[in-house]
Structure 1
Amino acid sequence: MVRRKVSIVWLPLSVMTAMALTAGACALWLPDRAPALLDSAKEITSVPVNTQQYSGQQQVTVVPTMSASYGLIGNASGTVTANWSGAGLNSGAAAYKVNDRVVIALNTASPLYRDLTVGDQGDDVRALNDELGRLGYTSASGTDLYDWRTRAGWQQLMSDSGNTSDGSLHLADVLWIPQSSVRTESWSAGVGVVVNASDIVGEVPGGITSLTIKNGQALDRSRVLTVFDQTTVLPAGETTVSDAAFCQQVALTEGFRTMTADMLSAGFDATLAFEEPVTVLRVPAGAVYGITGSTGCVVADGEETPVLIVGAELGVSLVRPSDDTDTSAISEVALGSRLSQLTCG
């Protein structure tokens, strides 16, 4: 009988294989156990808060409401021999020439409609006196009488423009404009063109009657609105500015004058900021509940507190109490499940 010899090499290998199979079987049947790192984290139900001074500055878009365009009616008849309308018209300055005589653009509170001389009276005379005074010429400002002062002022204005004058106002020398400075469009009184009195020689685009903050929210405090470096106060509770003087200032800026109709309808950039910085709380956005518009509530130091949302940053709401709660006295606000059953107010 031949006896087979088992190689000594296979013996340890067999033992190791058996051990591995046993360990695998044990692991298969042992119950699962989650690592300690995967234990559910403890819920955070309150956080400390800080205060900061907030200017409320923000970039906004303002949309203008424009009045209808206005036709400029000439009073002179003849051939246009010069034209200065391209850069706009300014009260007291030359607009164009007809038969080599300068026509002056003039903004008076009451449009001029007749020739005037010493002794004439009326609202048109008062308007002329006031405008001559504003332009720095001698006049009887505040009165409705065309006297020697009016004559002297008008004669000097004519002389400055290159016209001869005896001091009487001839309507043909005047082009009435609706504002002290206007830009023109559809101008027809080009050099060489024959014009007649009562012809419309050009149009003034409609002026700004109001400026509205696009998608703006009214606040309980006034703010400063800056448009093309012009500033005004936006009253509390308002999102529209209709102050005529401010609207005209904006309309006269280079930035506005270069805008097309499409650009105006889309709106243009502006800046809003509080007149004075306010103290606000920086709270997690999730701490504010029951939000309606720019109002909501927080649980501050265990007490429900109504707040006004004045701004926001990434993940943070900037709020201040809308009641008599002292903002700087608040130390923490509630979060998470502590708010789940609450309704603001």
Structure 2
Amino acid sequence: MRGLRHYAFIGTAALILGTALGGTLVVLLVPEAPPPSLVSEQRLETVTPAVIDFTDPREVRVALTVDSASGLRSPVGGVLTALSCVPGGQVSSGSNVFAVDGASVVALATAVPLWRDIPVGDDGQDVIALENELLRLGAEVEPDGVWRWADALAFDALLRPVGVITTDDGTVPIVSLVWLPSPATVLATCSLSIGSILAPGDVVARFAPRIRLATFAPPPDAVGGARELTLARGSVSAGADGVIAGPEALEVLAAAPEFAELDLEQGHPTLTASWVLVEPIRVAVVPPSAIRGLSGNRGCVQERGGATPVTVIASQLGRTLVVPPHRLGPIAVHPMGGTGCP
């Protein structure tokens, strides 16, 4: 109403003036300037960029090479008299997992499956594999590929507590050992129950499907630095070669809910994960219009002291993330057309 009264006042004054000047009517409508509190800036001229931590997340599809499920196979026939099996639980190398006719059978994660009795003096691939695993488990052996009395004594000291020793002449009895594909192997199902009649080679418990290799295509424009794949539960180190082959990392992938949801019967199983920097980098958030002289991922922003070079890291949701040489002060949102990079 104030504005209307103001226009009315000017109109009345003009009418009186026109009459006084011989009847010529000139009406001038001059609006009153709005108060400063109601003035909104049409364009923000400068802005001080916020600084945030950025992990450069990249969604990647991880292709998996999966071994078909196998299991704990009894090395001997007889009656299953003891069984330590829980679906979803783990069997560890060096543990007593079942017994046949009252005799313990111990799991060992050797590099190759053991296939024979090993007497003192024998050598071979299986011997070096056995020595290496005994050493990993804490036995005092010197792996050289030859089975010696010292090895037999170390074997007995390590495995006697779980019910297995060598024979009187130092021979490793194959009927007392069952092979594991990895030091800690997850069981999917328990195939038999105590009292079952076994034949040699019968599966006592089945392993969960095991990932042998995982690969993905790293985005070529990703920020350099140590990276990892993040999953619903846990993360695994994953470098720029896109290959994950370490046993521990593959076990993390196999334990992920994303893997459990895959249909392994379809072939070529893949899961989706986020590939991120292990250590976030500090980036400045600027309007896209503030970048000038962009060439590749290099450009400039205009500070009060002149043009400042920046490296563009990413653009998302109408904002551009850059790495400047120093913390930016106020920058021009719309730099002048002639603004260039030094």
Q: Do both share a fold (TM > 0.5)?
A: yes
Amino acid at match of 1:149: A
Shift of 1:240: 3.9
* 1:261 aligned residue: 261
Alignment of 1:268-283 (within 5 A): 272-275=276-279, 278-283=281-286
* 1:4 aligned residue: none
* 1:156 aligned residue: 157
1:116/1:315 CA distance change after superposition, 3 Å: same
Shift of 1:247: 0.9
Shift of 1:75: 1.7
- The correspondence for 1:197, drawn from 187, 200, 220, is 200
RMSD over aligned Cα, in angstroms?
Answer: 4.5
* 1:179 aligned residue: 182
* 2:326 aligned residue: 327
Alignment of 1:129-168 (within 5 A): 129-139=131-141, 141-163=142-164, 165-166=166-167, 167-168=170-171
Q: Distance in 2 between matches of 1:39 and 1:231?
A: 54
Residues 294 and 300 in structure 2, CA contact (< 8 A), matched pair in contact too? no
Deviations 1:1-49 (A, max 9, x none): xxxxxxxxxxxxxxxxxxxxx99xx9xx97876664498945444x253
TM-score, normalised to structure 1's length?
Answer: 0.67
Q: Distance in 2 between matches of 1:41 and 1:55?
A: 31
Shift of 1:161: 1.6
Aligned length: 302
* 1:209 aligned residue: 213
Shift of 1:154: 2.5
Q: Secondary structure at the match of 2:144?
A: coil
Q: Distance in 1 between matches of 2:124 and 2:203?
A: 26
* 2:98 aligned residue: 96
Amino acid at match of 1:218: A
Q: Secondary structure at the match of 1:327?
A: coil
TM-score, normalised to structure 2's length?
Answer: 0.68
Q: Distance in 2 between matches of 1:303 and 1:280?
A: 18
Residues 123 and 144 in structure 1, CA contact (< 8 A), matched pair in contact too? yes
1:267/1:248 CA distance change after superposition, 3 Å: same
Q: Distance in 2 between matches of 1:173 and 1:34?
A: 102
Identity of aligned residues (%): 22
Amino acid at match of 1:148: W
Which consecutive unaligned segments of at least 5 residues does structure 1 have? 1-21
Shift of 1:129: 1.0
Deviations 1:274-309 (A, max 9, x none): 53x6453332354347999x9464433454845222
Q: Secondary structure at the match of 2:150?
A: helix
Q: Distance in 2 between matches of 1:108 and 1:78?
A: 25
Which consecutive unaligned segments of at least 5 residues does structure 2 have? 1-10, 16-25, 264-268
Residues 117 and 151 in structure 1, CA contact (< 8 A), matched pair in contact too? no
- The correspondence for 2:302, drawn from 294, 300, 303, is 300
Structure of higher CA gyration radius = 1
Amino acid at match of 1:82: A
Q: Distance in 2 between matches of 1:295 and 1:285?
A: 13
Residues 230 and 275 in structure 2, CA contact (< 8 A), matched pair in contact too? yes
Deviations 1:287-336 (A, max 9, x none): 347999x9464433454845222586x86543114xxxx334x5443334
Q: Distance in 1 between matches of 2:171 and 2:68?
A: 31
- The correspondence for 1:309, drawn from 310, 313, 320, is 313
Q: Distance in 2 between matches of 1:190 and 1:342?
A: 80
Residues 310 and 318 in structure 1, CA contact (< 8 A), matched pair in contact too? yes
Q: Distance in 1 between matches of 2:293 and 2:66?
A: 42
Q: Distance in 2 between matches of 1:279 and 1:214?
A: 22
* 1:8 aligned residue: none
